[in-house]
A and B are shown apart, each in its own frame.
Chain A
Amino acid sequence: MSSVESAVRPPVTKIRKRTLKQRLNASGYKWAPYLFVSPFFVIFAVFGLFPLLFSLFLSFHYWEPASGLAAMEWVGIENFTFTLTDDWFQKSVFNTMWIALAAGIPQHVVAIPLAYFLHTSFKRSRNTVIGMYFLPFITSSVAISLVFTTLFSRDFGMINMLFTSAGNWTIFGDIQPLSWLFPTANIDWNRPEYTKTMIAFVVFWRYVGWNTVLYLSAMQTIPKDLYEAATVDGAKRWQQFWYITVPMLKPMMFFAVTLTIIGNLQLFEEPFIITGGSGGLEQAGKTAAMHMYITAFVEGDFGTASAVSWILFALIAFLTWGNNKLLGEKK
């Protein structure tokens, strides 16, 4: 090193100014960044991409899993044609749609006004109330389902007790004024005609708070001046809600409804536990995801189960696309 150079750039300063990146580059560790990001790709490849591709591969095969990988047998699209013409699958899709609508629509219809109420009426205690609404969402679905099974129990359940005490409530000796609205005898909620209602109620109860929080967070981003201007113009509260809040919530509605569609079409845990894993009498509470599980793990037919999951995927994609057309942003 010449004396001129050392005068211009003192070596001490030079070393101090080198960043970690430069030092790593200089010492030949150019691969280090790749190493550091690799866990994501490795985990994704093993737990995400591989199962995805494998299930697609599997959907064209007949495979009895306990016999090992060598026992796979190519059947072409037979699994798909069988599933699409299968009345059990059709019934499970019908159940899923029924529950999705019965649980999904009230979720939003209740969550939006509820969020507006929370947004405008609560000041300091708001966070506590939000926390209470959010609680069902983070509680274990197994615990929820078990509690509701007990509440909906035919002979010893609280729900029946409330209903029948309202139905059997008498005035003037023997007149039962509420008997036209409420049952007078215990309802067996496990009967095919009630199973779906019971499941839909549990799903509604669980996710309404989650949607409320979503809508509330969207409402907090709506500029206050809009409301102030509306107040100056003499708009009433419900007018402000209808003409400002609801239109401004549209992007969040799209997001929340999309989540509801996907979540409800994949519904599994609640009906699984409530019906004891069987889908209930006459399979009235069996959802498409349960049908897939039962095909795989009870009937031992993994190929058809994979086909079911891909058909379900196509269905969810189609409905999400439809929702996008309906609520998504127009370009």
Chain B
Amino acid sequence: MFNKKKIGTVALALGATLALTATSAFAKTTLTVASFPSFDLAVQSAIPLYKKLHPEVEIKLVSLAYGDHHNAMTTALATGGNLPDVMGIEYGYIGRFASSGGLEDLRAAPYSAAQYEKLFSKFTVPLATGGTGTLAAIPADIGPGALFYREDIFTKAGVTQEDLIKDWDSFIAAGKKIKETTGSYLVASAVDIKDVVIRSGLEDGQGIYFDSDNNITVNNDRFKEAFRLAKAVRDAGIDAQVGAWSSEWTEGLRRGTIASQMMGAWLGGHLNNWIAPDSKGLWRAAALPGGTYASWGGSFYAIPKKAQNKAEAWEFIKFMTMNKEMQIAAFRDLDAFPALIEAQNDDFINQPIPYLGGQVARVEWKKSADRIPALDVHKHDPVAEQIINDALEGVLERDENIDAALAEAEKQIKRRARR
């Protein structure tokens, strides 16, 4: 009797397995795409279009909050389990993920992506390139840096855009004038000035905190100048001393107590959608002061080595990144500036932006995107950034000597970047 039962169970299990295998053989391939807000919106809007082209592929979008998504991807790469077929990666993580070795080398066959590299803004490809010359991801969107400012406040103070971007001395003078006549602060934080200046004058292949030979490059004139200018801005009383994304920051931009902000071109979308929709038509965009070209953020797609459906994943990535219509749609709907040069050259770029008072700003953003150097990212960049910010805090708040603060910061970075 016992044996009979056993045989019965085995038969049942076998039957079930066979049935499952049979159904899955006829079912569509399910492509798992892991992403994060609001990058996931691009995937969401692409799903119906993609299904028309590839009815055999079902797309499952898994989206987590920005930090959670990248932590989940880190642990998935670490353990090799639970990996999606297509992985969305943001700028801040691309360097580490690209050199991890857990992602497919897209330069190798069957992808042979080297032929596509010239299709994208030149600074994006090195970001996704690992140490041994492997290409780990394809860029989707970029964030060319721009300076947004309130035209009405500037007019009231008698300051022009030219005053602002000519050089830093004129920038500070303009800030003082604005503070005196309107009471508004020119910038949110003196730290923003430092962030722009440490990125100025860099060329392809250089890093912000480390050079290509792993040497720490914070105790040099670039950083000294950045600290000096940040201190000058603080001393002039033209920064509101608020951090980005805090409630003081959004309120300051909304009420016009902060008259300008340097950030990625996508800030225009945020201003329009939720930060300051009421001041439509009052904002303008300009290039960054001092002839600096920098990039704020950007997103990429990669295929993990242990993904299940690599061929389908590659097709999907090509569709998301190299399809001009898709890129323009994301540009139009989500303010995601395309990494694809073909999409940057589309007529859409010449359209005026109502929020910016009808300014044809995208053309300027394209120009700066062309000039952004291909900076080298280092895995200890986040550590170095924290140390530099702490050092700057000492200079701004306690009047510490800039040379001493930077020498100490260099020592700190050396100690912490011990591997």
Residue pair A62, B247 in contact (C-beta under 8 Å): no
- B235-270 Cβ-contact flags toward A at 8 Å (1 or 0): 000000111011110011000000000000000000
Interface range, A side = 20 to 34
Choose from B80, B247, B382, B383 the contact partner of A69 (Cβ within 8 Å). B80
**Known contacts A69-B79, A153-B247, A156-B251; A297/B74 CB under 8 A:** yes
- B1-24 Cβ-contact flags toward A at 8 Å (1 or 0): 010000000000000000000000
| Min CB gap B47→A, angstroms | 28
**Known contacts A62-B419, A299-B380; A154/B242 CB under 8 A:** yes
Q: Which residues of A (38-90) have their CB < 8 Å from a CB of B?
A: 62, 64-69, 71, 82, 88
**Known contacts A28-B2, A66-B100; A299/B74 CB under 8 A:** no
Among A64, A156, A282: residue with most chain B CB under 10 A: A64
CA distance A291 to B102 in the complex (A): 26
Answer whether residue B82 sits at the interface, using C-beta atoms and an 8 A cutoff.
no
Residue pair B393, A281 in contact (C-beta under 8 Å): yes
Choose from A66, A155, A156 the contact partner of B78 (Cβ within 8 Å). A66
Residue pair A66, B97 in contact (C-beta under 8 Å): yes
B contact face: mostly helix, strand, loop, or mixed: helix
Residue pair B102, A67 in contact (C-beta under 8 Å): yes
Across the interface, which residues of A come within 8 angstroms of B74, CB to CB? 65-66, 297, 300
Answer whether residue B379 sits at the interface, using C-beta atoms and an 8 A cutoff.
yes
CA distance A89 to B100 in the complex (A): 27
Answer whether residue B71 sits at the interface, using C-beta atoms and an 8 A cutoff.
yes
Give the total number of A-B pairs whose CB atoms are below 8 A apart.
76
Residue pair A155, B380 in contact (C-beta under 8 Å): no
| Min CB gap B374→A, angstroms | 22
CA distance A227 to B269 in the complex (A): 69
Answer whether residue B162 sits at the interface, using C-beta atoms and an 8 A cutoff.
no
Answer whether residue A276 sits at the interface, using C-beta atoms and an 8 A cutoff.
yes
CA distance A67 to B100 in the complex (A): 4
Choose from B97, B248, B383 the contact partner of A154 (Cβ within 8 Å). B248
Residue pair B383, A299 in contact (C-beta under 8 Å): yes
Answer whether residue B67 sits at the interface, using C-beta atoms and an 8 A cutoff.
yes
Answer whether residue B390 sits at the interface, using C-beta atoms and an 8 A cutoff.
yes
Across the interface, which residues of B come within 8 angstroms of A298, CB to CB? 382
Residue pair A65, B75 in contact (C-beta under 8 Å): yes
Across the interface, which residues of B come within 8 angstroms of A88, CB to CB? 416
Residue pair A66, B96 in contact (C-beta under 8 Å): yes
Across the interface, which residues of B come within 8 angstroms of A82, CB to CB? 418
- A276-298 Cβ-contact flags toward B at 8 Å (1 or 0): 11100111000000000000011
Across the interface, which residues of A come within 8 angstroms of B102, CB to CB? 66-68
Residue pair B390, A68 in contact (C-beta under 8 Å): no
Q: Which residues of B (359-391) have their CB < 8 Å from a CB of A?
A: 379-380, 382-383, 386, 390
Across the interface, which residues of A come within 8 angstroms of B248, CB to CB? 153-156
Answer whether residue B101 sits at the interface, using C-beta atoms and an 8 A cutoff.
yes
Q: Which residues of B (397-419) have their CB < 8 Å from a CB of A?
A: 397, 416, 418-419
**Known contacts A281-B393, A299-B380; A68/B247 CB under 8 A:** no
Answer whether residue A264 sits at the interface, using C-beta atoms and an 8 A cutoff.
no
| Min CB gap B247→A, angstroms | 5
Answer whether residue B146 sits at the interface, using C-beta atoms and an 8 A cutoff.
no
Answer whether residue A324 sits at the interface, using C-beta atoms and an 8 A cutoff.
no
With A67-B77, A155-B251 known, 8 other A-B pairs at CB within 8 A are: A28-B2, A65-B75, A68-B78, A88-B416, A150-B247, A155-B252, A190-B246, A300-B379
Smallest CB-CB A-B distances: 3 pairs: A66-B100, A65-B78, A66-B77
Interface residues of A (CB under 8 A from B): 28, 62, 64-69, 71, 82, 88, 149-150, 153-156, 188, 190, 192, 276-278, 281-283, 297-302
